[in-house]
A and B are shown apart, each in its own frame.
Chain A
Amino acid sequence: MNYRIIREIMIYGILIIFAIIMIFPFLWMFINSFNTEQNIFRIPPSFIPDKFFKPGMFDNYQIVLSQYHFIRYTFNSIFVSFSAAFGQIVTCSLAGFAFARMNFKGKNILFGLLLSTMMIPIQVTIIPEFLLMMKLGWLDTYLPLIVPSFLVGSFGTFFLKEFYENIPRDLEDAAIIDGAGPFKLYWSVFLPLGKTPLATLFIIAFMNNWNALLRPILYISSDNLMTLPMALTQFQSQYGARWNLLLTGSFLAVIPLLIVYLFMQKYMVEGITHTGLKG
């Protein structure tokens, strides 16, 4: 009995130490959202913000939320990131399933091509991509932000392929014997069993899209289409930035991400019960 308790305490201890190391900058960002601009760059930094529990504590929040169309930007970001992430899990689960369980001509080459798209930096592909979007007439719309993410997904396909290759064949066999075609197999066996990786992929795709800056800045011009991180760059000016607002904005921008993350935890259920092992 004792051993177990000691072990639990040790684990909590390690968790807490790591937690402190990990959350430090995030905490700093949060604390500074209650600071005046003057106080942010003190050396050494003070961890007690100017405005804590004083009148005007939420000044920064007030300015950020009202002066800049924060709600609209948040909505834009949510819409874009959600669509892109949703598209990813659809496209990548379909493709991942095919690569894992089916054989077809040129399979390896195609997979290699897919993977190689991750290895070319965006800095050299962005201009040709921009020219393409211009030809398609997609400038200043959501489309360049959603559709490529919707459809591509080398990371996602690779990720899900590895998972699907690991799914127990006996379940698969059973379904096939029952006469299931590929789509039914995909829908009723692989998708349900792959809930955790799917949720993980959703988070990652959502996050990547949420934090993306280069594409929104290049493609979006209208104020009412701006995404949140892009809007935050408005706090930067030629020779400086309004740091108190920038940090407040950055903090607010992270909140939806964390909400999505916590929400997805529900699907990251521990342990998968398999119906019987081989042999």
Chain B
Amino acid sequence: MKRIGWIVLLMISLLVFTVVAGQVTLRYWMWDPSIKAKVQTAVNKFESMHPNIKVELTTIEPRDYWTKLRIMASTSKLPDVFNMSSGYIEEWSAKGLLLDIQKYINTDLSMSDYFASLFNMAKYPKNTGDIYALPFAWVTPVLFFNKTAFDKAGLSYPNENWNWCDFLNAAKKLTIVENGKVKRWGFWLYGRYANVEPWIYRDGGHLLSSNKKRFAPDKNAIETMEFLTKLVTTYKVAPMKKDMTGVRSQDIFPLGIAAMWVDGSWNIENNRSLIGNKFKWGIAPVPVGPHGSKKILYAWPDMVAISAKTAHPKEAWELAKFMSGPGLTMDMYMAGKIPSYKPLANSAAFLEKGKQPLEKGILLQLGKDEMVNSFTMGWSEWRGYGAAEGLGLNGALDAVINGEMTFQEAMQKVTSYANRVLSRYYK
């Protein structure tokens, strides 16, 4: 009896082994826990299309995502497929951690299905090399404006031909002062990248040197930054940053404290949630500067990348391709994030007719422009982002806005600081 038992066991395990041997398990990490259920649905669909592939999904919220991912990289335990941001792609591909997917794209992907210029930002070396990640979404800062306030002030809405004069004129008219106190501001900004960079690029300016390895704001960039800080210090159409503590910066426009705001398109969701029906609002392209043109857009993609050391590159490619667009649905995109996959972007679901802003379609128009950004290695450090907001360019511009430093002083300090940082990464 016992011997038969062993033989049966052996046969069963052989059977299981042959089934399992053909099985591939992929680990997929993404940084948006709030849509985990929806992503799981997409993953299930993928698994049903590829029965021999099993996907383990992990979601980690953004702040700890990078720490954990980095530790995984250092111990060679990276997941097979994972989200990659524009801020880090250069460093990760330079370190050889990402799989070169150029050959897969050449044979298995039609770039015309996507907003093609996004792929430039996934190349290493930048703009010229092979592609190392697939964009699945992109965002761009836009001008948010309070239509109700514009109506009350008798102003016509911003459009794509707006320049700085139009903007400043409107901002002045929209700033309401009563008894020496400002009841409502025309505009709101601080030193943050999404508040500043779009204006620079629309003025034909550049923050980095031409080889992108040093901080070297050109004349137009300086002109832009000076203009922006003057909005607070000289024209007084925007508040000092220190007067607005206690209110989250993304709530200032939707709470009606300021009538205009330039920040990322992803704020559409927060705006809807806070504004509700309190006032009408819309979006427009960022105003064009005196030396700029309409055809440049400050934008950047979120991407999905494959680990260079994955044991299953072909299967990982299938998953990455699926997660870059074909397998996704619009409800996985936060309002204001634009799919890089055109069929999704052009769908009615994207336009969300009937919801504010009514002009959501201009995001697609803007997608036709030439896209640029200024992410580099060590970007958070020299730009002053997240936990380092008090430093770098962000900290410097804030100091000018708060009246603690002159513009020239700030530019001097930040140039030497930023270049010290950049020279650590780029010899």
How far apart are A269's CB and chain B's nearest CB, in angstroms? 42
Instruction: Say yes or no: B273 contacts A37, CB within 8 Å.
Output: yes
- Of all chain B residues, the one with the shortest Cβ separation from A218 is B68
Question: Contacting A217 at CB < 8 Å: which of B68, B257, B270?
Answer: B68
Question: Contacting A236 at CB < 8 Å: which of B34, B58, B264, B269?
Answer: B34
- Chain-A contact segment, one of B100-108, B176-184, B201-209, B247-255: B247-255
Q: Does A108 contact B (CB under 8 A)?
A: no
Interface centre among A134, A235, A240 (most CB of B within 10 A): A240
Instruction: Say yes or no: A237 contacts B75, CB within 8 Å.
Output: no
Question: Contacting B62 at CB < 8 Å: which of A37, A130, A218, A238?
Answer: A238
Interface residues contributed by chain A, number (CB under 8 Å)? 25
How far apart are B130's CB and chain A's nearest CB, in angstroms? 27
Instruction: Say yes or no: A238 contacts B32, CB within 8 Å.
Output: yes
How far does the alpha carbon of A218 sit from the alpha carbon of B267 in the complex, in Å? 30
How far does the alpha carbon of A241 sit from the alpha carbon of B77 in the complex, in Å? 29
Interface residues of A (CB under 8 A from B): 37-38, 41-43, 67, 127, 130-131, 134, 213-214, 217-218, 221, 233-242
Instruction: Say yes or no: B75 contacts A41, CB within 8 Å.
Output: no
Instruction: Say yes or no: A131 contacts B274, CB within 8 Å.
Output: no
> B57-69, CB under 8 A of A: which get 1 and which 0?
0111111100110
How far does the alpha carbon of A240 sit from the alpha carbon of B268 in the complex, in Å? 12
Neighbouring B residues of A37 by C-beta, 8 Å? 273
Given A41-B255, A239-B264, verify A134-B75 contact (CB < 8 Å): yes
Given A38-B273, A233-B33, A239-B266, verify A43-B62 contact (CB < 8 Å): no
Given A42-B255, A43-B257, verify A237-B58 contact (CB < 8 Å): no
Question: Contacting A237 at CB < 8 Å: which of B35, B273, B302?
Answer: B35
Q: Does B162 contact A (CB under 8 A)?
A: no
Instruction: Say yes or no: A38 contacts B71, CB within 8 Å.
Output: no
Question: Contacting B60 at CB < 8 Å: which of A38, A134, A217?
Answer: A217
Neighbouring A residues of B250 by C-beta, 8 Å? 240
How far does the alpha carbon of A134 sit from the alpha carbon of B35 in the complex, in Å? 30
- Of all chain B residues, the one with the shortest Cβ separation from A37 is B273
- Of all chain A residues, the one with the shortest Cβ separation from B246 is A43
Measured as residues with beta carbon below 8 angstroms from the partner, the interface class of chain B is 35 or more
How far does the alpha carbon of A42 sit from the alpha carbon of B266 in the complex, in Å? 20
How far apart are B146's CB and chain A's nearest CB, in angstroms? 16
Neighbouring B residues of A130 by C-beta, 8 Å? 71, 75
Instruction: Say yes or no: A234 contacts B273, CB within 8 Å.
Output: no
CB-contacts of B212-256 with A (<8 A): 247-248, 250-251, 255
Total A-B pairs, Cβ < 8 A: 73
- Of all chain A residues, the one with the shortest Cβ separation from B254 is A41
Instruction: Say yes or no: A239 contacts B75, CB within 8 Å.
Output: no
Instruction: Say yes or no: B34 contacts A237, CB within 8 Å.
Output: yes
- Of all chain A residues, the one with the shortest Cβ separation from B29 is A221
- Of all chain A residues, the one with the shortest Cβ separation from B62 is A238
- Of all chain B residues, the one with the shortest Cβ separation from A40 is B274
How far apart are A242's CB and chain B's nearest CB, in angstroms? 6
Neighbouring B residues of A238 by C-beta, 8 Å? 31-32, 62, 266, 302, 334
Q: 14 A–B contact pairs at CB < 8 A?
A: A38-B276, A130-B71, A131-B75, A134-B75, A217-B60, A218-B64, A233-B64, A234-B33, A235-B33, A236-B62, A238-B62, A238-B302, A239-B334, A242-B34
How far does the alpha carbon of A238 sit from the alpha carbon of B33 in the complex, in Å? 9
How far apart are B176's CB and chain A's nearest CB, in angstroms? 16
Instruction: Say yes or no: B60 contacts A237, CB within 8 Å.
Output: no
Instruction: Say yes or no: A41 contacts B251, CB within 8 Å.
Output: yes
Instruction: Say yes or no: A41 contacts B64, CB within 8 Å.
Output: no
Neighbouring B residues of A213 by C-beta, 8 Å? 64
How far does the alpha carbon of A270 sit from the alpha carbon of B179 in the complex, in Å? 59
Instruction: Say yes or no: A233 contacts B274, CB within 8 Å.
Output: no
How far does the alpha carbon of A41 sit from the alpha carbon of B34 in the complex, in Å? 20
> B23-55, CB under 8 A of A: which get 1 and which 0?
000000001111111000000000000000000
Question: Contacting B36 at CB < 8 Å: which of A221, A234, A239, A242?
Answer: A234
- Of all chain B residues, the one with the shortest Cβ separation from A39 is B274
- Of all chain A residues, the one with the shortest Cβ separation from B251 is A41
- Of all chain B residues, the one with the shortest Cβ separation from A130 is B71
How far does the alpha carbon of A134 sit from the alpha carbon of B60 in the complex, in Å? 19
Neighbouring A residues of B71 by C-beta, 8 Å? 127, 130, 218
How far does the alpha carbon of A37 sit from the alpha carbon of B269 in the complex, in Å? 12
How far apart are B304's CB and chain A's nearest CB, in angstroms? 14
- Of all chain B residues, the one with the shortest Cβ separation from A236 is B61
Given A217-B68, A240-B269, A242-B34, verify A43-B247 contact (CB < 8 Å): yes
How far does the alpha carbon of A93 sit from the alpha carbon of B251 in the complex, in Å? 51
How far apart are A79's CB and chain B's nearest CB, in angstroms? 22
- Of all chain B residues, the one with the shortest Cβ separation from A123 is B67
Neighbouring A residues of B270 by C-beta, 8 Å? 239-240
Known: A233-B61, A236-B62. 12 other contacts (CB 8 A): A38-B273, A67-B37, A134-B75, A214-B64, A233-B33, A233-B64, A237-B33, A237-B35, A237-B61, A237-B62, A239-B267, A239-B270
